[in-house]
Chains A and B, each alone.
Chain A
Amino acid sequence: MMKTLNLVSSLALVVALAGNACGHEGHDHGQPLAVSVALDAQGNLWRASAKDGFVVVDKSLAVNPLIFASPKNINEKAQKIGTSGDARPKIAIAHNGNIYLTWTQALPTPYSGYIWFSRSIDGGKTFSPPSIVHQDRAEITHRFDALSVSPSGRIYVAWVDKRDLIAAKKTKQAYDGAAIYYAFSEDAGASFSAERKVADSSCECCRIAMLANEQGDAVMMWRHLFVGGVRDHAMAKISANETNPKIHRASFGNWKIDACPHHGPAIAKGGDWGYHLAWFDGGDKAGLFYARMDGEAWVSSPAKRFGDANSQTGHPALISDGEQVWLAWKEMTDKASLVKLVKSNDGGRSWDAPAVISQTKGKSDYPQLLLKNGQAYLAWNTELDGLAWLKVAQ
């Protein structure tokens, strides 16, 4: 009888454990493909990815491209790290060689998360114990981290935040969407400022594009909820000295929708006049668009369409060097996923014909463009062919 009882107890335990195992974030679809890459001054390629609940950083030497070595786990305990849709761990390298990382930890409450930061001040030999960037520790949305470091070394971290939505709900006030918040560091990431709000009523689930500039400011672009539920894009310049940034409308597609597009924009510096913008717009005209934004007058040029219809055109990457601009995006055919590229030699006024620069038959990440000695490179993580890394058209 005792034996039977023990057997029953063990069986119960096994079943209970099996239940727990299912409840845990599993990895039955392989490791996430969502990675970020950055180049250091020596041309070495650094990569941030997520594996088994850890943010992992590894690097490939300039002389040995794509041979990644010395992977390091950054967080001490396993976390559920945001890698789906527009979420991914971020990496940025400062002029002095410091390496900065951010990522979003998903918390048990739906849509909630914390933004974490870690740094290396010894060229990637060691990384600091991670810390949470924001002072607000409520288990609410702090997600879709964006990271950028200015040439002078000021670090900006921005994210999508729902504290204002929750406060509005408590007092039964109407509030659309989420908000964009940011914090900055003046001491190379040893500490961060208290967080500040950029804008109310952002889209809830799209990445923020952010670029810190020579003046130590940062320009950001995000999908915004304009009056009437229209999800177009907004831009703002944020700085350490100003607390009330002006919001400028950057796109005019008038996509009116109560939905999560999971599809954020891209920006690049446009000479001394402003910025190059690329974004996905949905609805009847669904597709990828490009415009120039004047950084003084904050007026954007008419949107130019790129990519084929019905090919899932989207997820743009932009990079510029003087008057040269490269725009890459992802498309899909019945047989493969593609990265297409167009180049402009006149600051985005005219463009060459698009060309397929990489393709893969399996699952793939979104494309990223980097600049190395004035040449543009594509980084594209794929399941079957690994990380594609190639010099693109000159």
Chain B
Amino acid sequence: MKLMFKHYLMKLSLVIGLLLSQQVLAEPLKPFMASSRMEIEKAHQGQPMIMAFWSLDCTYCLDELSNLGEFVKKHPKVKLVLVNADGLITRQEVVKALKQIKLPATYESWQFSEPDEERLRYSIDKAWYGELPRTYYYDNFHQVKAVSGSSDLIWLKSWASKF
């Protein structure tokens, strides 16, 4: 009986483990909708922020996120907001990809969650044509600089010297 109880505990922990792993996977990605950009901007009003759009299908994106992660570790005042543009069907792949790169202890992670992703992109920024990575640098006053492609590290340093 004692053995059985141990067995039971093992199974129970397996179930809890599985439930937790689902929880962990489900937790970090917030649904990014048409209103999300403004919501995020409001939440971080008065703070410098980097909003970085990326995709699993973009060969430059994970390196860029890694660089941004390192950068934010050195400049903890800057909030890091990642937005995956692949859509909900890739949720698990996205979580897995993010785990493989070094990101700071705190960052926000969102994922495109509107059925029409082109329109969502249009609602975020009419001048963004879908090239990735696409990154928006907000200073303290939320003056925004949009950058397509990998960011220039020298420019990034000068941008951060203000904070």
A residues with CB within 8 A of B: 1, 4-5, 8-9, 11-12, 15-16, 18-19, 22-23, 25-30, 84-85, 110-111, 204-205, 257-263, 280, 282-283, 286, 310-312, 314, 332, 337, 362-364, 383
Contacts and interface: CB of A to CB of B under 8 A. Distances in A.
Contacts of A364: 118
Contact of A16 (B18, B92, B121): B18
Given A8-B15, A257-B131, A258-B150, A84 B57 contact: yes
A263 B89 contact: no
B58 A8 contact: no
Contacts, number: 118
Interface string B145-157: 0001110000000
A19 B22 contact: yes
Given A111-B57, A282-B148, A363-B119, A5 B89 contact: no
12 contacts: A8-B11, A9-B11, A12-B14, A27-B89, A111-B57, A259-B60, A260-B60, A260-B131, A282-B131, A286-B127, A286-B129, A383-B116
Most B CB contacts (10 A, CB to CB) among A5, A15, A280 go to: A15
A363 B115 contact: yes
B91 A22 contact: yes
Contacts of A283: 148
A204 B56 CA distance: 13
B45 interface: no
Nearest to A111: B59
B43 interface: no
B122 to A, nearest CB: 5
B131 A259 contact: yes
Interface string B7-23: 11001101100110110
B84 interface: no
B59 A204 contact: yes
A162 B149 CA distance: 20
Interface string B49-81: 000000111111100000000000000000000
For chain B, give the interface size range. 35 or more
Contacts of B15: 8, 11-12, 15
A314 B129 contact: yes
A229 to B, nearest CB: 9
A29 B127 CA distance: 25
Given A8-B12, A261-B130, A280-B129, A312 B122 contact: yes
Nearest to A256: B149
Given A1-B8, A286-B129, A310-B127, A18 B22 contact: yes
Nearest to A25: B89
B83 interface: no
A263 B86 CA distance: 16
Contacts of A29: 87-89, 115
Contacts of A383: 115-116
A12 B89 CA distance: 23
